[in-house]
Amino acid sequence: MPLAPKKTCRLIVESGNHYLGALKGNQGNLHQSVQANFVAEESHTDISKGHGRIEHRTVSLCTALEHIPTWPGLQTLIRVESQRQFKKGGHPRIETETRYYVASFCESAEALAQRIRGYWGVENKVHHVRDVTQGEDASRIRMHQLPQIFAVARNFALNLYRSNDFDNMAQAERYCKYGLGTLKRVFRMK
């Protein structure tokens, strides 16, 4: 039986669509082959400052797939090398990380960099908020349809907070814990 990511990529390509996905260590041979045989053909570098850190990201792409195991629809290999400079406890720190992605289409390194950053924007805006602020990962709800129902409720709450011009979801949750009157105002109830 094919690996789930490989099967998913096959289904996406067969449906006439494209994919861009993170390549992780659990894809064994593919991940190792990409690391060993990646030769950058084009690169794009971004530098961003914010949240007390400076981050350098270099996105490189490779379309030479001769030594790469077959993968459904694969056309582009992408490497993202990031270096974050920040202070921890008053001391300067540097963290480096290299991530790989696979794509079933070809674009410029700059366009791929924007797509990957867009994904992390969604990750930070939705998933991180649900995990950290709303404690979704720590939830012990496991029976029947309850996990899906609570996910809908959490998303509903986030959408209400955003529609009430809250930028900080943790602050919005604290504000709504003040009492029923506050909740009624946020939920626009009489």
Q: What is the pLDDT of residue 88?
A: 86
> Could you report the per-residue pLDDT of 56-95, keeping only the tens digit for each?
999 999 999 999 999 999 999 999 999 999 988 889 999 9
Which residues are within 8 A (CB) of 94 and not within 5 positions of it... i.e. 6 or more apart? Answer: 83, 84, 85
* Residues paired with residue 82 on neighbouring β-strands, in sequence order: 57, 97
- Flag whether the pTM goes above 0.85: no
**By C-alpha distance, which of 78, 64, 62, 81 is closest to 19?**
78
**DSSP string covering 150-173:** HHHHHHHHHHHHHHTT-S-HHHHH
CA 165 to centroid of chain Cα atoms: 24
User: How far is it, in rounded angstroms, from Cα 6 to Cα 24?
Assistant: 12
> Could you report the per-residue pLDDT of 136-150, keeping only the tens digit for each?
777 777 778 888 888
Q: Collapse the DSSP code of 120 into the 3-class scheme (helix H, G, I; strand E, B; otherwise coil) and give the result.
A: helix
**By C-alpha distance, which of 81, 70, 88 is closest to 27?**
70
Q: What is the pLDDT of residue 2?
A: 44
Task: Write phi, then psi, for 3 (nearest 5 degrees).
Answer: -60, 150
Instruction: Please state, rounded to an integer, the average pLDDT across all residues of the chain.
Output: 85
22-31, 41-50, 121-130 — which is least confidently predicted?
121-130
Q: Please indicate whether residue 50 or residue 67 has the higher confidence score (pLDDT).
A: 67
